[in-house]
Amino acid sequence: MDKIFVYLTQIRWQDYLDMTVVAILFYLLVMRIRGTRALQIMMGIVLLFVINFLTRWGGLYVTSWIFQYLWAAILLAIIILFQPEIRRILEEVSPLKMLTGKRKWAGPNVISEVVAAAFEMASKKIGGIIVFSRRDLLDEFIQNGVSLDGIVSSPLLQNIFFPPSPLHDGAVIVRENRVFKAGCFLPLSETAHIPQHLGSRHRAAIGLTERSDAICLVVSEERGEVSLCYKGKVRYYTNPKSTEDSLGRFLRRNGRDKQPTRWKAVFLENIWIKAFSVGFALFFWLAVSGVKTSEMSLNGVIEYIGIPKKMALATGWTGSVDLRVRGSRGLLAGISSENVRVRLDLSDIREGTNFVTVEQADIEVPPGVQITSIKPSVVKLVLERIEMRKYTVDAELVGSLSSGLTLESVSIEPPEIQIEGARSQLNKIERVATEPISLAEISDTKRFTKSVVVVPSTVILTEKGLPKVTVTIKVRKL
């Protein structure tokens, strides 16, 4: 979870745009195959993708290796299985389709003629399917069929579906207020939860509406019922008036019983599918961005811990180590030397000269970053017993007093301090002084609280550090 949090803190605006595009494409695909077996297949592929992501994230290298070589075949299977859906999505977002303008929906006269024919056929127990073609082209789903291009009328439709007619077993396609084709065979639905009492006509109508935005008016031959199929759902009607109202509403309002406002349609319609699409896009981005790896160099400052009591470092490697790290590009983009800590545990070393190996376990890097190189990998450290010594503190005065003033006295409290450290390091101390005090800023007697420093600054002292002293500077006028 820490790695995922680090990833999320590194998201750029380009990544948000990237995830938005993926979420929209995934949402359109799910809406196209909702209610079909293709959705179950896609959910299985998504599950495989999640397993692959978790195995790679968890360091299961053999399983990740197997999935790595399986994904080429899986991607090919996706293209083959979802070829119609992919083509329809591309058609949906095609600028050419937008330029062609809106199609003509069936007018009131056409709807009245179709509904009148349907209820007349239902009273005579004559079955039939009348398909209203909308935005989606149905050529890929329509098998056989005879082109008519006739005026929609109740007598024409009844004659087409009358049993002696050679076209009565197929469906009639109504496109732009014309009887476009008759005797067409439609794809049967693959949905498993269709009620058993529905026959082949309803299965064909449901199958077509699952794959397109068409609306099917179905007349049952066995029960003499009239029903509407849209988006894989079936609605039954008992009188022509309600059937005309619903059919007109479906055709003119994209199949919604109530036309929502734009913001409701964008955010609330199919809310769970949209939320799932956004989650999938985020998950997919995390997985793909983690695949693209790169390397970079970092500098890590060494921090010594666990030094035995009454012991101190005398000489040794007190600087830093050069690291070479590998990780995803998004993760490495936000890493710096401040995110790297090199902590060497010295609890097991002894007095004298020691050679300590710097291992990966001693280096703290953000989750998801792998260390590939450490230089130097071994550091030489000398451990000595701690001693205490007294040193006189000098006031470090810089600059000069203003004209007309003279320095009367400088006092330091305490005048001496005790410093602890290794013997060899204490021997290197040349001078102990305060932090610089500027005389140009003094116009009267003044008191300062200053930290103490040792010269040279390369002397290694214990973690106890140095105390502060009070410096009193008295001046008088000439």
pLDDT digits (tens, 9 = 90+) for 361-393: 888 887 667 888 888 888 888 888 888 899 999
Residue owning tokens 């579906």: 161
Percentage of the chain lying above the pLDDT 90 cut: 15
In DSSP terms, 324 is beta-bridged to 297, 373
Give the C-alpha separation, 468 to 167, whole Å.
Answer: 105
Lowest mean pLDDT among 15-19, 266-270, 418-422: 266-270
Nearest CA to 330 out of 298, 291, 297 is that of 291
- Asked if pLDDT for residue 259 goes beyond 80, the answer is no
In DSSP terms, 65 is beta-bridged to none
Q: What is the mean pLDDT of the chain?
A: 80
Handedness of CA 348, 373, 302, 290 (dihedral sign): negative
Would you state the pLDDT for residue 18? Answer: 83
- Extract the tokens encoding 369: 């970053």
Residue 117 confidence class, pLDDT cut points 50, 70, 90: very high
Element (H, E) at 39: helix 37-57
In DSSP terms, 294 is beta-bridged to 327
In words, the CATH class of domain 292-384 is mainly beta
Residue 464 confidence class, pLDDT cut points 50, 70, 90: confident
Would you state the pLDDT for residue 450? Answer: 92
Who wins on pLDDT, 18 or 292?
Answer: 18
DSSP conformation class of 86: H
Who wins on pLDDT, 9 or 248?
Answer: 248
Interval 72-95 mean pLDDT: 67
The pTM of this model reads 0.42
Would you state the pLDDT for residue 452? Answer: 92
Percentage of the chain lying above the pLDDT 70 cut: 80
Would you state the pLDDT for residue 392? Answer: 93
CATH 2.170.120.30, the chain: domain bounds: 292-384
Pair 215, 229: CB distance under 8 Å? yes
Who wins on pLDDT, 338 or 417?
Answer: 417
Would you state the pLDDT for residue 412? Answer: 93
Q: Which CATH superfamily is domain 387-477 in?
A: YbbR-like domain (2.170.120.40)
Give the C-alpha separation, 67 to 62, whole Å.
Answer: 9
Q: What are the backbone dihedrals phi and psi of residue 152, each rounded to the nearest 5 degrees, phi first?
A: -75, 125
CATH 2.170.120.40, the chain: domain bounds: 387-477
Pair 199, 167: CB distance under 8 Å? no
Nearest CA to 404 out of 458, 350, 355, 475 is that of 475
Would you state the pLDDT for residue 254? Answer: 47
Interval 48-67 mean pLDDT: 73
CATH 3.40.1700.10, the chain: domain bounds: 108-252
Contacts 24+ apart (CB under 8 A), 105-110: 105/134, 105/251, 105/252, 106/132, 106/152, 106/174, 106/177, 106/247, 106/251, 107/177, 108/244, 108/248, 110/152, 110/174, 110/177
Residue 93 confidence class, pLDDT cut points 50, 70, 90: low
For the segment 21-46, what is each residue's pLDDT rounded down to a tens digit?
888 888 877 776 665 556 667 777 77
Would you state the pLDDT for residue 128? Answer: 92
| Fold for the domain defined by 108-252 | YojJ-like (1 (3.40.1700)
